[in-house]
């Protein structure tokens, strides 16, 4: 691993400091492309205007008509946290603005697959719906939208995924990534798109003379959760949405289901951070879509009954523990396979593809992500497809590294192995596909060949970008608290420092899976922990670490969360 230091332009650092930003935060923000304090202003007034989002006005007019006509509406959600929060935001917002009949459908990952299918459209029509709204899906649902229109439904597609060559024939499409959309942020999550549609609807209802409209800021905790959990880039607009949501959560203003999730995860809402959304609440909701039914997650986010929410949160927590157990077993099995394929002391191939007949298709994506992080190779993990018409097919999910476009790679594999890929889709860093029965070896060979052609040694070397050394005067618990309170995420990474330290002592903990450390950093003795590391460290090492405030016997102190070491 090679540790690198981000550049923080001195002029930008100076400008931020002059605007009153803390010197350390000024350096961190400048290194992430922030050159003006205006980018850090979290006020709702600075959010991008909904009237610049293509299709939002048309969608708002359709929804306003539906509310006036008391037409039944059905939201078709996705089975991840973004989809669940978008569904809850849509239902809560529409009801608050007068819609009396709003239901939802969410596809089953195994039986229905992703997005609005013709079968789902038929189920929506059979439920009595006259208006169908997709959230976090739909931009690729050509056949599903066509079937919905055949059945007489008015269709509104709200999505954020990249469109293909053909757009669905919906009555309105709201997607910042559709052709011709001038909306300045292309990074909205699905929940963010739905929130903007509601902002446009509120404006439309006011324009029609209905001046008394509810505030929508009560929905921001859900918007923040879905945005962080979906790992979309945190540009200025997304950071404002997340910051506003965090502010309300910390003040105790959030749906009962979110409060129940904080309790189930053992996290403290008054000190809520993006870490909580991304690694505590989000995974518990996602677990429902992976192993069970996302209806559990949506019902949790929709309910205002604290007792019911506590029960649903406990169920999701149990499912998430089951997911972790399955993931651990799959990862161990996958690493065993990889070890058997690689000669001793040899580097891994340019790409990794693994399959086992006992793998669970709901967990292949997260296992692929773990393997990619460990090996720094584009990785696909496959499991038997549980779909009724699978006929021996394999369902795969892949994750990539910078410099290797995963969906484009699948296009090449499809050309070189005709008939192997039954379907595929995705984007640069993540993709999914279905393999025909008996074609795994063909896929693995072709995938590795494409990667070997496109990736050089420099790209395959794992690099860790850091913010350089942390001045000794900042090794304090209050500094760790300040860092934790800020908004960090995809494209705006949490602070990671790096410097040489003396390793004063080290001992294995957690059944030998982790290292507890005593380090001398910047002339100070400080505790540290390296989760997932069992090999001992040398007496002096260049470490990359995060700062964390730790409480022990009533005393708050700082410790270093080690993330890597320059080898």
Tell me which of 436, 457, 478 is where a domain ends: 457
pLDDT value of residue 390: 60
How does residue 388 score in pLDDT terms, banded at 50, 70 and 90? low
Structural domain contains residue 445:
yes
Asked if the structure places residue 154 within a domain, the reply is yes
Mean pLDDT of the chain: 94
Q: What is the bridge-based pairing of β-strands 172-174 and 154-158?
A: parallel
Same domain, 506 and 387: no
> Is 18 contained in some domain?
no
Q: Which stretches of 346-456 are DSSP H helices?
A: 364-375, 406-416, 440-454
What CATH number corresponds to the domain at position 476? 2.40.50.460
| Residue 164 sits in the same domain as residue 283 | yes
Let me know whether 116 and 218 are in one domain.
yes
321 within a domain of the structure (yes/no): no
In a domain, 231, yes or no: yes
In a domain, 322, yes or no: no
Q: Are residues 222 and 351 in the same domain?
A: no
**CATH code of residue 352:** 3.10.310.30
Same-domain pairing of 185 and 260: yes
Co-location of 418 and 364 in the same domain: yes
Selection from 343, 338, 340, 322 nearest residue 374 by Cα: 338
490 and 441, same domain (yes or no)? no
Asked whether residue 82 is domain-assigned, the answer is yes
Domain check: are 307 and 442 in the same one? no
- Burial string for 104-130 (b: 16+ CB within 10 Å, else e) reads bbbbebbebbbbbbbebbebbbeeebb
**Structural domain total, the chain:** 3
Cα separation, 78 vs 229, whole angstroms: 13
pLDDT of 352 > 60? The answer is yes
Give 347's pLDDT tier (boundaries 50, 70, 90): confident
> What's the pLDDT tens digit per position in 161-193?
989 889 999 999 999 999 999 999 999 999 999
For residues 493 and 434, state if they share a domain: no
The domain containing residue 534 runs over which residues?
464-565
Classify 540 as helix, strand or coil: strand
pLDDT at 198 over 70: yes
* CA–CA separation, 303 and 205 (whole Å): 26
Instruction: Kindly report, residue by residue over 214-271, the tens digit of the pLDDT.
Output: 999 999 999 999 999 998 999 999 999 999 999 999 999 999 999 999 999 999 999 9
Domain boundary among 423, 457, 491: 457
Mean pLDDT confidence for 325-331: 95
- What CATH code is carried by the domain that includes residue 172? 3.90.1640.30
| Domain limit, last residue, from 397, 424, 457 | 457
Q: Please name the residues in contact with 347: beta carbons below 8 A apart, sequence gap of 6 or more.
A: 460
Please tell me whether residues 355 and 245 are part of one structural domain. no
The reply to whether 202 falls in a domain is yes
Evaluate if residue 85 carries a pLDDT over 90: yes
* pLDDT value at 389 more than 60: no
Residues 536, 387 within the same domain: no
Whether 468 and 415 map to the same domain: the answer is no
pLDDT of residue 41: 94
């Amino acid at each position: 691993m090679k540790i690198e230091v981000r550049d923080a332009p001195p002029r930008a650092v100076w400008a931020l400091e002059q605007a009153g930003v803390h010197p350390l935060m000024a350096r961190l923000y400048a290194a992430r492309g922030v050159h003006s304090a205006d980018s850090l202003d979290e006020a709702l007034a600075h959010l991008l205007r909904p009237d610049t989002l293509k299709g939002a006005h048309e969608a708002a007019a359709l929804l306003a008509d539906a509310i006036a006509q008391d037409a039944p509406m059905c939201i078709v959600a996705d089975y991840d946290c973004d989809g669940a929060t978008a569904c809850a935001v849509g239902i809560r917002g529409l009801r608050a603005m007068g819609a009396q009949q709003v239901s939802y459908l969410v596809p089953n990952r195994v039986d229905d697959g992703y997005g609005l299918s013709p079968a789902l459209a038929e189920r929506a029509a059979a439920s009595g719906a006259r208006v169908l709204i997709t959230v976090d899906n739909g931009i690729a649902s050509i056949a599903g939208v066509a079937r919905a229109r055949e059945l007489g439904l008015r269709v509104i597609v709200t999505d954020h995924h990249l469109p293909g060559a053909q757009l669905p024939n919906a009555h309105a499409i709201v997607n910042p990534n559709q052709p011709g959309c001038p909306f300045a942020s292309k990074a909205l999550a699905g929940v963010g798109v739905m929130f903007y549609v509601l902002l446009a609807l509120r404006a439309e209802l006011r324009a029609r003379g209905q001046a008394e409209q509810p505030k929508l800021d009560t929905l921001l905790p859900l918007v923040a959760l879905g945005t962080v959990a979906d790992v979309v880039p945190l540009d200025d607009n997304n950071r404002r949405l997340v910051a506003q949501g965090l502010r309300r959560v910390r003040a105790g203003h959030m749906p009962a289901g979110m409060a129940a999730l904080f309790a189930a995860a053992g996290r403290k809402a008054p000190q809520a951070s993006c870490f909580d959304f991304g690694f505590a609440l989000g995974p518990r909701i996602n677990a429902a879509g992976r192993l069970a039914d996302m209806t559990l997650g949506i019902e949790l986010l929709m309910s205002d009954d604290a007792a019911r929410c506590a029960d649903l949160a406990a169920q999701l927590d149990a499912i998430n523990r089951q997911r972790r157990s399955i993931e651990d077993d799959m990862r161990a099995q996958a690493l065993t396979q990889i070890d058997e394929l690689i000669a001793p002391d040899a580097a891994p191939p340019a790409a990794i593809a693994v399959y086992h007949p006992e793998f669970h298709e709901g967990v292949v994506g997260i296992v692929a992500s773990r393997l990619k992080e460990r090996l720094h190779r584009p990785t696909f993990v496959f499991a038997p497809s549980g779909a009724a018409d699978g006929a021996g097919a394999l369902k795969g999910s892949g994750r990539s590294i910078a410099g290797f476009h995963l969906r484009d790679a699948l296009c090449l594999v499809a050309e070189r192995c005709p008939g192997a890929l039954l379907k595929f889709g995705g984007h640069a860093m993540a993709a999914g596909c279905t393999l025909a029965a008996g074609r795994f070896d063909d896929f693995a060979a072709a995938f590795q060949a494409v990667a070997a052609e496109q990736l050089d040694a420099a790209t395959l070397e794992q690099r860790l970008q850091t913010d350089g050394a942390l001045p000794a005067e900042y090794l304090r618990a209050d500094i760790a608290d300040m860092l934790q309170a800020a908004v960090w995420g995809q494209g705006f990474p949490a602070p990671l420092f790096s410097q040489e330290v003396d390793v004063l002592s080290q001992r294995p903990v957690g059944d030998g899976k982790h290292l507890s450390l005593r380090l001398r950093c910047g002339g100070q003795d400080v505790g540290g922990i390296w989760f997932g590391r069992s090999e001992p460290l040398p007496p002096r090492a260049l470490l990359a670490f995060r700062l964390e405030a730790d409480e022990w016997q009533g005393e708050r102190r700082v410790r270093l969360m080690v993330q890597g070491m320059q080898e």
